Amino acid sequence: MLSKVCKKSPPAACALTIPPACWYRQPAAAGLRNPQVHGPARYWLNVQGSFTRALQQRCQQSFQVEVASEGFALPRAEEARKLNIPWRQQAWIREVRLCGDRQPWVLARTVIPLACLQGPGRQLRNLGNRPLGAYLFSHRQWHRGPLETGLCQGTHSGQPQLARRSLFHTRRQGRQHSLMVCEYLLPQLYSGAERT
């Protein structure tokens, strides 16, 4: 069971609805099934640097991270396969809302295997309302792998339709360790004028 920690959210708003998604290595493959991939969301699906920084630059007033839940829990079977960890092994799972100008723009889910929480990685359990991206991009031992594009399934108006995810890798004692960051775009992030 995921131990929940709510920050600055009423209890009813605590839980996030993270939809299942079909993941594609190439945006073009996802675009064949959902034309939104090539529309205004394209910029956000393909941000190569810090996604957090890109969101902060879009804000006119304020940027906030609202922690919905974090704690040890079992990853989804597909997440465990992607991270190459045993299916029944717990991981540190963090779910947050990334809000710009007091409006939720992104639902984010991070799966951090136990091996990543050793040594300096212990800090990953104590981020609070600080963005994970700021931590990862300021510690040079972490390197991001390729981005994947996700098409969310079974969602309704106002829920995420599109997502992106990647693995971040680090080496310690001659072994590679990876964590997964998934970002589910809410329509209010990209509805409106297309970014150039």
Q: Kindly give the residue spans of alpha helices, DSSP state H, lying in the chain.
A: 27-31, 42-45, 51-58, 77-83, 132-138, 187-190
Q: What is the DSSP-derived secondary structure letter of residue 145?
A: -
Q: Domain limits at 79?
A: 19-190
Per-residue pLDDT tens over the stretch 33-91: 888 888 889 999 999 999 999 999 999 999 999 999 999 999 999 999 999 999 899 99
Rg from Cα positions in the chain:
16
Q: What is the DSSP-derived secondary structure letter of residue 1?
A: -
3 state SS of 101: coil
Give the pLDDT band (50/70/90) at residue 14. low
Residue 42 lies in a domain: yes
Q: If you average pLDDT over every residue of the chain, what do you get?
A: 89
Residue 12 lies in a domain: no
Give the pLDDT band (50/70/90) at residue 6. very low
Residue 178 lies in a domain: yes
Residue 11 lies in a domain: no
Residue 52 lies in a domain: yes
Give the pLDDT band (50/70/90) at residue 155. confident
3 state SS of 77: helix
Q: Per the structure, how many domains does the chain have?
A: 1
Residue 121 lies in a domain: yes
CATH at 78: 3.40.1410.10
- pLDDT at position 196 over 50: no
Whether 157 contacts 179, CB under 8 Å: no
pLDDT of residue 188: 93
pTM, two decimals, is: 0.88
3 state SS of 51: helix
